[in-house]
Chains A and B, each alone.
Chain A
Amino acid sequence: MALPKRIIKETERLMAEPVKGISAVPHEDNLRYFDVTIEGPEQSPYEGGVFKLELFLPDDYPMTPPKIRFLTKIYHPNIDRLGRICLDVLKGNWSPALQIRTILLSIQALLGAPNPDDPLANDVAQKWKEDQNAAIETARQWTREHAKP
């Protein structure tokens, strides 16, 4: 099936005007599948880390959101062990006016502002609430170990 114009345009724009700290490159054999990297935002426990993600645009994209998952291990209350992300815009709050670029920016923002009150990884969220400093330290350590640039 031919690739919709929208996906072609989005890909072109991602290549032509990349977002700082974010890259998304489509696979040559499947232009709906992207290799994504996101740099940890400054002033966050993820600073200095480069996180790998996979992104897939389903058949009825942009009517349904892209499917995204962290490949790099990350210690975050809204990201579980399998890399799945708890983010409203990836679920019910998706809108076809959003795009790959805005979604990746939202994920980067989520790294800068973890929300332990709406957790996906319960154990991490628990730690985050009980002892925030220790949790942040763990996140830093995981970033150093797993998210080497």
Chain B
Amino acid sequence: MNTVLCRSDAVDGTSTPCLPPPATPSYMVDHHVVEGIEERPALAPHTDTDARLLVRLIQCRQCSKPFSSPVTMPCGHTVCQRCLPAPQRRVNISYPQTLDHQLGILCPVCGQENSTADCNVDVTVSKIMALLVDYVSRWTAKHAEVVLTLEEVPQPPNDALISEKEMKGHVAQYGGGRLAGTFQMAVDGLLDYWADVAYSKSPGCEKDDLEDLDLDHFNSLRDAISTEMDCMVCYNTMLDPTTTPCGHTFCRHCLMRTLDHSIICPVCRRDVYLSPSLLYQPKNHCLASILDQVWPEVVAARKHTVSEEERPEGALDVPLFVCTLALPGMPCFLHIFEPRYRLMMRRCMEGNRKFGMLMYNQASTSQGDLGVTRFLEYGTLLHIVNFQLLPDGRSLVETVGVSRFRVIEHGMLDGYDVGRIERVDDISLGTEKRLEATEVGTAQSQAALYNAQHPPVPMTAANCPELLTTIELFQACKQYILDMRARSAPWLSERLVRAYGDCPDDPATFPYWFAAVLPIAEEQKYLLLRTTSVRERLKIVYMWIRRIEGQRLLLPRCGGYIGNILATCMGGFHASLTAFISTS
């Protein structure tokens, strides 16, 4: 691309003094780096340079004529079908095993080898060409009296020394104004793709308002092809036009979303063999240049709107995945296959890689101010650590819990939930201490009073966790873990450690780790998410342990029964988990 730029720059304003000062050959500029509309040179179809530029947009680089049966190859370049080089046999390609994949065509523009199966007529460019040919010929007939002399000004490659004779370009007379004349010159094969054009009024042409005529023509052509520039999926002007191997073009993000749902082309239903991540699929350069040149303001507006739309509306800025329980600091492994969540993950990866994980509200209970929602109001914000896109568009996602949150407000975006969330943090350590002191003190004096009456079941730490200090609770829970480990095989704990890390020494995070490894109902673990005191969380865990131990004691003949179940569950679960981790 850069060489093209130099070539035009070298010539503008020197060998063709009739041209206006060298305008940036803007059609070659990659507009993706240009921010905002103001910086883009305004198109002036009634000037010599831009009339030439516009026609070059639809000229084939091979034959220099306007495209006829244009083919857009997977590399994104367009040439006439007849200008495609002969296919050559490709070596070492065995999949897919069809003849047309065994044959390759070298792109005459960039040299990339494309499979013949993927080189099909570009439907959109074809339609545009048919419309242009029709409109230009009608226009020329109507304004035949405006005759211009067009002189081709060849641009020699690489500043090579070219003789006077070779430098001499074609000269021809055409009616209809600059734009129509240049187009017709290209049709007649008298205008090289790289050449510039010098315009002069033919003798006898009295037309004074040539500028207005060209502008009118440009506007009529623009209106004629504008509907072809609409994406068949979103009905907007195409943004970042991307063409399927079958020759149909859509906005890149529309095609991506379509492929989330089905691998067939929305228009012709042929299978679309494209990588699920279209990010690296080259755009349709021809259509992108036309859009950037002819509708710069529309393209800029579309970019703006799409970036707004992709962002969840207003304050509802956190995508919410209603699926399972996740815990702070703990890993959560997900297999994403539903189309809506594929879209959500893609947006997360483009954004801050965070989303909220919520559990289903299976009992349809009321969730605070939200009323009855399909999810439970407390969840965990997850950060995507590892994202592995599978060839068929599904993905394996490794996440880790960042913090707990509560949903304040929620809505839908493209089929998935979004919401405004409030971070849930623990109470201050000061409050925590006061809570402990009061609770332990009260419980101990009550127990002393109660036990003094010699009841059949005295109040002990076993049935009244309030009697224990926070650290005693923590140590009791930790001791249980040690006992469990002693009972089960050592490799089991290794696997546990590999997935969830070693048992934390921090009483604040210990309950999350414990809940992550303990195979009990998620609804019970959910309690931890809404508990904002370390002591309360430890009490919950302590009671789980008491219950499990109690069940074990009630079944003396099945000594270690629950413990074994626990070990087996953990083992099975973590075996699959470890397999997943080692592959990713």
Task: Report A's interface with B, CB cutoff 8 A.
Answer: 1-2, 4-6, 9-10, 58-60, 62-64, 93, 95-97
Contacts and interface: CB of A to CB of B under 8 A. Distances in A.
Contacts of A60: 339-340, 414-415
Contact of A95 (B235, B269, B340, B415): B269
B267 interface: yes
A96 B436 CA distance: 60
A66 to B, nearest CB: 14
A97 B411 contact: no
Contacts of B269: 93, 95
A5 B235 contact: yes
Contacts of A2: 313
Given A95-B266, A97-B266, A63 B236 contact: no
B415 A59 contact: yes
4 A-B pairs with the lowest CB-CB distances in the bound complex, closest first = A60-B415, A97-B266, A95-B266, A6-B235
B372 interface: no
22 contacts: A1-B411, A1-B412, A2-B313, A4-B234, A5-B234, A9-B235, A59-B414, A59-B415, A60-B339, A60-B340, A60-B414, A62-B233, A63-B258, A63-B414, A63-B415, A64-B415, A93-B269, A95-B262, A95-B267, A96-B258, A97-B232, A97-B266
A97 B412 contact: no
Nearest to B412: A59
B275 to A, nearest CB: 19
A97 B313 contact: no
Contacts of B257: 63
A148 to B, nearest CB: 36
B142 interface: no
Contacts of B236: 5-6
Interface in B226-276: 232-236, 254, 257-258, 260-262, 264, 266-267, 269
Given A59-B414, A60-B340, 10 more contacts: A1-B411, A5-B234, A5-B236, A6-B235, A6-B236, A9-B235, A64-B261, A64-B415, A95-B267, A96-B233
A5 B269 CA distance: 24
B491 to A, nearest CB: 45
B413 interface: yes
Contacts of B261: 63-64
Contacts of B232: 96-97
A97 B414 contact: no
Interface in B290-344: 313, 339-340
Contacts of B254: 96
A95 B313 CA distance: 27
Interface string B387-417: 0000000000000000000000001111100
Interface in B543-570: none
A59 B232 CA distance: 18
Contacts of A5: 234-236
B234 A97 contact: no
Contacts of A95: 262, 264, 266-267, 269
Contacts of A59: 412, 414-415
A32 B549 CA distance: 56
B453 to A, nearest CB: 63
Given A2-B313, A9-B235, A63-B257, A96 B266 contact: yes
Contacts of A97: 232-233, 266-267
Contacts of B262: 95
B227 to A, nearest CB: 11
A1 B413 contact: yes
A11 to B, nearest CB: 11
B214 to A, nearest CB: 31
B512 to A, nearest CB: 34
A1 B313 contact: yes
Contacts of A10: 235
A62 B236 CA distance: 13
A64 B411 CA distance: 19
A63 B412 contact: no
Interface centre among A4, A5, A6, A64 (most CB of B within 10 A): A6
B567 to A, nearest CB: 44
A97 to B, nearest CB: 4
Contacts of A64: 261, 415
A102 B347 CA distance: 31
A41 to B, nearest CB: 25
Nearest to A93: B269
Given A1-B412, A5-B235, A63 B260 contact: yes
Nearest to B248: A97
A26 to B, nearest CB: 16
A2 B308 CA distance: 11
**Max chain B Cβ within 10 angstroms of own Cβ: one of A5, A9, A60, A62:** A60
Interface string B76-116: 00000000000000000000000000000000000000000
Contacts of B414: 59-60, 63
A41 B414 CA distance: 36
Nearest to A7: B235
Nearest to A95: B266
A98 B266 CA distance: 8
A17 to B, nearest CB: 13
B200 to A, nearest CB: 45
Contacts of B266: 95-97
A70 B418 CA distance: 33
Contacts of A9: 235
Contacts of A93: 269
A1 B417 CA distance: 12
A1 B414 CA distance: 10
A62 B269 CA distance: 16
A63 B339 contact: yes
Contacts of B267: 95, 97
